[in-house]
Amino acid sequence: MAKHLFSAERRKIPVGSHTIRLLILRPLERREEKTPGVLWIHGGGYQSGSAKDVFATRALSLVVKFGAVLVAPDYRLSKKHPYPAALHDCYAALLYCRDHADELGVRDDQIMVGGESAGGGMAAALCMLARDRGEVNIAYQMPLYPMLDDRDTPSSVDNHAPNWNTRRNHKAWKRYLREAYGTDIVSCYAAPARREDYSGLPPCYTFVGDIEPFYCETVEYVRHLREAGIEAEVDVWPGWFHAYDLFFPTKKVVREAIERFEEHFRYAAAHYFAPQSRIKDE
């Protein structure tokens, strides 16, 4: 597929009494037909990072190679704003994609979500919230090595792998959940692994390394989706620590992983649709 150049635009949108910024990437070469719209959420344990991180992630190729329109929100971070602030911001960005689909040049029946790490966890949470509220339909999800479970799992407990480990994971969850951390009152919209009903969620693709903390929760997430009858697939890469693909993008095995990711997006763009069932201004 021919490569596309892209433009970058900043916009502000209201979320309750405050505003957040969106970074919007669009191909300069406009097509007659509309393209998928992708809400891509940055990582950083909910406590760091920004929308501009998208320039170093898997999401950029969706614009450059496939002509998708990408919207990346600068959601509020947990250092000052714990859960549910980030969820509210990202959900507002999702509704913005729905309401401005025509202006953005995207198909409103192909709104997708994705992200890395905490961004992947937020993508999963948005799929659950959207399914439960019924205000917006998501066609596909791409939560890469997502941060899903506030509780220790076999791979997140006593993990000392590079980049992200048990200590950093505990600290990030405590900061995000505050007084709810370590209790049974944590919502699945904060920690998607708490979900019990996975029916009605969008098809999914993800990948994860087998030595990183999020290995078990990622594999379990895909298993739950499949058991609920949802098309879902995970690629597990041996010896990869957290965000390995971002540290070593030129390695042969990483290039293979990127190709797999792009193959799945290409398939999703051709096969997965979720028409909006409500009038946008309701």
* Yes or no: domain 6-271 corresponds to CATH 3.40.50.300: no
Question: How large is the average pLDDT for residues 190-197?
Answer: 98
Q: Is the pTM of this model over 0.85?
A: yes
- Measured distance CA(281)–CA(71) in Å, rounded: 20
Give the rounded distance of the alpha carbon of 149 from its chain centre.
15
Once rounded to an integer, what is the mean pLDDT over residues 151-167? Answer: 98
Query: Which tokens go with 125?
Result: 């949470």
CA distances from 215 to 49, 204, 222, 251 (A): 22, 16, 11, 21
pLDDT confidence tier of residue 281, bands split at 50, 70 and 90: very low
Could you report the per-residue pLDDT of 8-57, keeping only the tens digit for each? 999 999 999 999 999 999 998 776 688 999 999 999 999 999 999 999 99
Domains of the chain by residue range: 6-271
- Residue 278 has phi, psi (to 5 degrees) of -125, 155
Q: Write the DSSP symbol of residue 183.
A: S
Alpha-carbon dihedral sign for residues 77, 79, 80, 84: positive
Q: What is the pLDDT of residues 122-137, one digit of tens each?
A: 999 999 999 999 999 9
Average pLDDT value for residue range 65-70: 95
Residue with tokens 């007659």: 32
pLDDT tens per residue across span 198-231: 999 999 999 999 999 999 999 999 999 999 999 9
